[in-house]
Amino acid sequence: GLPPALAARGHRVMTISPRYDQYKDAWDTNVAVEVKVGDSIEIVRFFHCYKRGVDRVFVDHPMFLEKVWGKTASKIYGPKAGLDYLDNELRFSLLCQAALEAPKVLNLNSSNYFSGPYGEDVLFIANDWHTALIPCYLKSMYQSRGI
């Protein structure tokens, strides 16, 4: 409820989530970025839809899409309740880095009031452990370079 409430108050709002499924109303933005995850460079793509005044962005990468009930009969965070996937740290590192890139690289024009990239003047709300690396990456990888 927070994102639509902020949008209703006149703020430009984006939510970022992993793309775990083929969301019927999200379209491929054709924007891809490279992020360093562990010892490799991974390419992520962004999907987007606009609902209730909110830019809803989905980070697309096989590490997310393969962890779906319908494809693997597994849960999102582990093969069964109480058991984590071994790649959770890598998957959520990828999500956090993609989230930091999205406001800079996505040129979104769904709203009648806002258009173009969000830029650098943004506020990140890191909700839950999956996004806990965002403040760390923001300080070490972005603020250290003046971004």
Within a domain: 13: yes
Distances (CA, A) of 73 to 67, 69, 76, 83: 8, 4, 10, 14
> How large a percentage of the chain has pLDDT more than 70?
90
Residue 72 pLDDT grade (very low, low, confident, very high; cuts 50, 70, 90): low
Q: What CATH code is carried by the domain that includes residue 71?
A: 3.40.50.2000
Residue 31 lies inside a defined structural domain of this protein? yes
- What's the rounded mean pLDDT across residues 85-109? 91
pLDDT digits (tens, 9 = 90+) for 7-65: 999 999 999 999 987 777 899 999 999 999 989 999 999 999 999 999 999 999 988 87
Decide if 145 is inside a domain. no
Q: So what's the pLDDT on residue 83? A: 75
Number of separate domains in the chain: 1
- 147 within domain boundaries: no
Residue 26's domain comprises 1-140
Asked if 130 and 95 count as a contact pair (C-beta separation under 8 A), the reply is yes
Is 33 a domain residue?
yes
146: in domain: no
pTM of the model: 0.88
Mean pLDDT, residues 84-88 taken together: 77
